[in-house]
Amino acid sequence: MPESATPPRLRLQAFNNLAKTLSCSVYAVRYTATPAQQAAYSAQIDALYGARPLLERLRRIAQLIGARILHATHQDYEPEGASVSLLLAEDLVHSAHPLRPEALICHLDKSHITAHTYPESDPGSVINTFRADIEVSSCGQLSPLRALNVLIGSFNPAADVLTLDYRVRGFTRDVEGHKQFIDHPIDSISQYLAPEIQARYRMLDVNLPRERLFHTRLLRRDFVLERHLIDTDPALLTVEQRTRLAQRLRREMREIFRGANPSSHQAGQARCRSPQAQ
């Protein structure tokens, strides 16, 4: 939101007990036609989103949103996938007025960034879908929404589809003892997205403000076939092959965006064969 639109801070009694969680699922859809291309795709995923590079990515996000990292763990999995977890604190931990023990426990239990990756492929097709789930959760003044644009930007240009969820739970009290179930204005996650991100994606909102639940889906507007190819020279594909492949990739992205499969008849027609195999 613009700085001029930011309301004055609420005066709270003691520690802010509101738990705020931002969840982001990033999807990247890619095409591989041969075992060699599949191997190259797996190597690319490991290089960009293995445990160590993912850890460094999340460290940068934590730094940019002003969080302190108390502890970090990371793990790669066989045959694929990785997990990273950062335990966070904000400046209150290092302030001149130490937190009460119960407040510190809340920090250690609730403020974190986690990431899990899920490389996936359709065994009967040539389409691969990579998914990364990132969760930023805080208990205190630090808002996960500060990480939103940094988080999306860290996966650009790979992100074809994103699903965003934001929720606020619990309550805190103001100095007069009144319960406050949310401490910042929000009608939609999209209002916190940078203009360049809004221009890049088509968006769909499903919001329940009274329940403090907000959901936004994003689908990339532009489609560049070359961005989805792994070790494939587009010049070697015929116009018909390029058209058919683009249709299949875009259909895959739309299905993920909508969260629904086509009918079995449509699915049978949509099956994409490898152009090299034809």
Encode pLDDT of 236-259 as tens digits: 899 999 999 999 999 999 999 999
- The span from the CA of 109 to the CA of 104, in Å, is 9
* Contact between 130 and 45 (Cβ < 8 Å): yes
Residues in CB range of 97: below 8 A, 6 or more apart: none
Which helix (H) or strand (E) covers residue 152, if one does?
Answer: helix 148-154
Query: How confident is the model at residue 108, as a pLDDT?
Result: 40
Query: How confident is the model at residue 176, as a pLDDT?
Result: 76
- Choice among 62-71, 91-100, 130-139 with the minimum mean pLDDT: 91-100
- The count of structural domains within the chain is 1
User: What average pLDDT score do residues 218-233 get?
Assistant: 93
- The span from the CA of 23 to the CA of 144, in Å, is 9
> Which tokens belong to 58?
């999340």
Residue 100 pLDDT > 50: no
User: What average pLDDT score do residues 137-166 get?
Assistant: 87
Q: Amino acid identity of 64?
A: L
Query: How confident is the model at residue 121, as a pLDDT?
Result: 77
DSSP at 172: E
User: What average pLDDT score do residues 32-46 get?
Assistant: 88
Residue 189 resides in a domain: yes
In this structure, what CATH number is given to the domain that contains residue 199?
3.60.90.10
In angstroms, what CA-CA distances link 255 with 27, 50, 252, 261?
A: 12, 26, 5, 6
pLDDT over 70, % of the chain: 80
Range of the domain at 20: 10-234
User: What average pLDDT score do residues 36-56 get?
Assistant: 91
User: What average pLDDT score do residues 91-102 get?
Assistant: 41
Residue 277 resides in a domain: no
* Active-site residue list: 111, 116, 139
Residue 204 resides in a domain: yes
Nearest Cα residue to 275 out of 230, 231, 245, 247: 245
Query: How confident is the model at residue 9, as a pLDDT?
Result: 54
DSSP three-state, residue 238: coil
pLDDT over 90, % of the chain: 46
Residue 144 resides in a domain: yes
Q: Amino acid identity of 91?
A: D
User: What is the DSSP secondary-structure string of 32-74?
Assistant: --SHHHHHHHHHHHHHHHSHHHHHHHHHHHHHHTTPEEEEEEE
> Which tokens belong to 13?
């009694």
Residue 268 resides in a domain: no
- The span from the CA of 155 to the CA of 247, in Å, is 24
Residue 262 resides in a domain: no
CA triple 114-206-180, angle to 5 deg:
70
- The span from the CA of 229 to the CA of 32, in Å, is 7
Query: How confident is the model at residue 217, as a pLDDT?
Result: 98
Could you read off the pLDDT of 180-189 as tens digits, one per residue?
777 778 999 9
- The span from the CA of 151 to the CA of 9, in Å, is 25
- Asked whether the bond before 35 is cis by omega within 30 degrees of 0, the reply is no
Average pLDDT over all residues of the chain: 81
- Choice among 5-9, 73-77, 142-146 with the minimum mean pLDDT: 5-9
- Choice among 36-45, 46-55, 114-123, 262-271 with the minimum mean pLDDT: 262-271
Could you read off the pLDDT of 52-88 as tens digits, one per residue?
999 999 998 888 877 889 899 999 998 889 999 999 8
Could you read off the pLDDT of 259-270 as tens digits, one per residue?
988 764 454 444
Indicate the Cα dihedral angle 43, 47, 50, 52, nearest 10°. Answer: 150
- The span from the CA of 163 to the CA of 186, in Å, is 17
Query: How confident is the model at residue 8, as a pLDDT?
Result: 57
Higher pLDDT, 172 or 234: 234
Residue 219 pLDDT > 50: yes
Residue 149 resides in a domain: yes
Residue 239 resides in a domain: no
